Amino acid sequence: MSIKLLWFVRIVGLAFAAYVIQRVKQNRLSEKESLYWVTGTLGIVFLAFWPGLVDQVAAWVGVVYQPALLFFIGILFCLVLLFRQAGHISQLKESNKELAQMVAILEAEQRRAGSGLEHKEE
């Protein structure tokens, strides 16, 4: 890897780490989600400063083409995030359904209470 590319990756990794940490400080990410993003960002920065580690891990695992290991790890990270998001969406759908049912019940009770007042006034 050329020195220019190595420094570019380091600077981008550190900039992304600073962005993620800023978002966490501003409470724009939940605590659970921020753990994944901070871990992923630290992994990027760590690999940017020790690029030989990828070669060593690839040799240990038996991967011949080292960038394929990085792609695999990245895809695995994305799949974990997608799975967690799918779980959150399912929970939100269920909560939304429960809230809609509660609103419908409250509106029905309000209409009944309102119609009962009209009958008493007559």
DSSP 64: S
Q: Is the pTM of this model over 0.75?
A: no
- Rounded to whole angstroms, the Cα distance separating 2 from 51 reads 11
Predicted pLDDT at 122: 52
Per DSSP, the three-state class of 54 is helix
Residue 22 has pLDDT above 60, yes or no: yes
**Cβ pair 17, 42 in contact under 8 A:** yes
**pLDDT tens for residues 57-113?**
999 999 999 889 989 999 998 998 899 889 999 999 999 999 999 999 999 999 998
Helix/strand/coil percent split, the chain, to 5: 90, 0, 10
> What is the spatial distance between Cα 7 and Cα 13, in angstroms, rounded to a whole number?
10
Mean pLDDT of 14-26: 88
Q: How many whole angstroms from its chain centre is CA 88?
A: 10
